[in-house]
Chain A
Amino acid sequence: MKSFGIIAVVLCGALLIYGTVDFPDWGDPTSPASTHVSPYYIEQAIPDTSVPNIVTAVLADYRGYDTMFETAVVFAAGIACIFLLRSVKKDTPRTKLYRHIPTGVTIRIEKGGKVPHGSDDFERIDSVWVPYDVIIKNGCRLVIPFIQLFALYVIAHGHHSPGGGFQGGVIFGAAIILYALAYDLRTAKARLPIKTSVLLSSTGVLIYAGTGALCILLGSDFLNYSALAGLLGVDPVTARSHGILIVEIGVGIAVMATMIWIYYILSSVGKNDEGL
């Protein structure tokens, strides 16, 4: 069976490599893509949308319909993750473990017991002994704000440099995942609960689709941002640039929230209480 698999894989690979022989050379100026499609975008992107980064203009404006469903696919993948993994039944742990910070003693509190209310001396921990992680926690605390700032820069600056909603959203999500890794899942969930992130993700998709619907209401085509010109108070070309930014923000929010909740659910086996 194993040798059969190897033969099938080698045969498929050989066919694929044979298929590439017919491809035009890399950077060939006479290939069909370079003669019909690319010149239009290279020449018309700035007059049409006033966006210097052609990739962003193509992604969010010329083929905005496609990108909208890409965002919807990310959202649907996250929803599928919830349905597959999340266990609805809550099994509350019988005992809770706390560490008394000044002495380092771990205390076990049975169901019904409570640590002194409002005391900062106790820290909830997951296992009988967890290592002290002052350097990791404070290192991440230093780094995370800059990662988030960079993510916002990537989203906002997608018009002029590589980047955009997807990349910025993933980086922002990675910052919060780093927070969940450095502290624990409980601390991260106190900041951004899973319900909020699901709400944020659907808001992101709604921003994208809503922008398209608004264009219809203003008497133009779906996702034709030049219809927003009157609403934004700018000329139609700048309106397309602004429309791209609005849509990228929607994509960023959706992708960020989805990445975070997939991590929450994966790392806690769907129980959504304690993780890595």
Chain B
Amino acid sequence: MIWQLEFIILILIIFCGIGALMVKDLVGAGILFSAYSFMMCLLWAIMGAVDVAFTEASVGAGVSTVLFVAAVFQTSRRSKD
């Protein structure tokens, strides 16, 4: 595989993970977490674990983001800490 591509994806995963922790806007954190899941999905696909990548894309990036957003809409949107 192209190692540059893997490297960029790895850096993006770390940035998404830290961003999801730092961001005050909870919907934004959910979206960043979805981006994190999607990057993980790409990494699984690069490593040849296609079934895991499929599960990560459908569960991690798809449904769990909807559940996060649905939960955030019932609370206050900005975190206090």
Q: Which A residues lie at the B interface, using CB under 8 A?
A: 26, 53, 55-56, 59, 154, 162-164, 166-167, 170-171, 173-174, 177, 181, 259, 262-263, 266-267, 269, 275-276
Contact = CB atoms under 8 A, between A and B. Distances in A.
Contacts, number: 52
Contact of A174 (B50, B54, B62): B62
Contacts of B59: 166-167, 170
Given A163-B51, A167-B58, 11 more contacts: A55-B51, A162-B50, A162-B54, A166-B55, A166-B59, A171-B58, A173-B63, A174-B62, A174-B66, A266-B71, A267-B70
B58 A170 contact: yes
A62 B40 CA distance: 27
Given A263-B70, A269-B74, A276-B70, A177 B54 contact: no
A71 to B, nearest CB: 14
Given A170-B58, A170-B62, A174-B58, A263 B50 contact: no
> How big is the B interface, by class?
10 to 19
Nearest to B68: A266
Contacts of A170: 55, 58-59, 62-63
Dominant SS at the A interface? helix
Dominant SS at the B interface? helix
Contact of B73 (A171, A174, A267): A267
Nearest to A275: B70
B67 to A, nearest CB: 6
Interface of B: 47, 50-51, 53-55, 58-59, 62-63, 66-67, 70-71, 73-74
Contact of B54 (A167, A263, A276): A167
27 contacts: A53-B51, A55-B51, A56-B51, A59-B51, A154-B54, A162-B50, A163-B51, A167-B51, A167-B54, A167-B55, A167-B58, A170-B62, A171-B58, A171-B62, A173-B63, A174-B58, A174-B62, A177-B63, A259-B63, A263-B63, A263-B66, A263-B70, A267-B70, A267-B73, A267-B74, A275-B70, A276-B73
Nearest to B69: A276
A177 B70 CA distance: 11
Contacts of B54: 154, 162-163, 167
A171 B54 CA distance: 11
A125 to B, nearest CB: 17
B58 A177 contact: no
A163 B57 CA distance: 11
Contacts of A56: 51
A154 B62 CA distance: 16
Nearest to B60: A170
A55 B66 CA distance: 28
A102 B61 CA distance: 40
A173 B62 CA distance: 10
A160 to B, nearest CB: 12
